[in-house]
A and B are shown apart, each in its own frame.
Chain A
């Protein structure tokens, strides 16, 4: 049973560019959440998708957008990249409901030059 997978593993972009990160949830999971983790910090919640709709959003600008597909996979898009967007982007999948556990993918390391 495959866990959460993310692609690409690493990415280097320049300021002003746009990036798309991809996530496949653990088999059977219907909810995908995205987090940004700066070096030495805890993950920061970006948004969460369920039934192909954004359900919750953290304190991130509209430059950050996402999508969930019918097979529950998800994309995170970031436009007009800033140096401060350099971070590890984590995807986590779970089942909607009372189970507390979220399963995290290995992340995409984004570097903005």
Chain B
């Protein structure tokens, strides 16, 4: 079956530090990969996505590259802000399911201090 593994949190950084959140996956077929973000008290918002190998998704300074050879989709940002504090979820859908059925990782909390 499909699964997503994320690094455990919380990740604690100072403002302007470099961020990496690791994500690896196991899937049948050719999954599309996503990063969602959840701010306190809110639902999830799509941050970025990549639909095929070597695609790079980017949004709001965040980037992730779909690496098929290492089955990874690590999230990076060059300079984090306090407002980036949230829980980040890596997720996938696969061609076998065909519909909007996402398999999520357990989430990584990011805490950014001034």
Partners in one complex: no
| A→B interface (CB under 8 Å) | none
| B→A interface (CB under 8 Å) | none
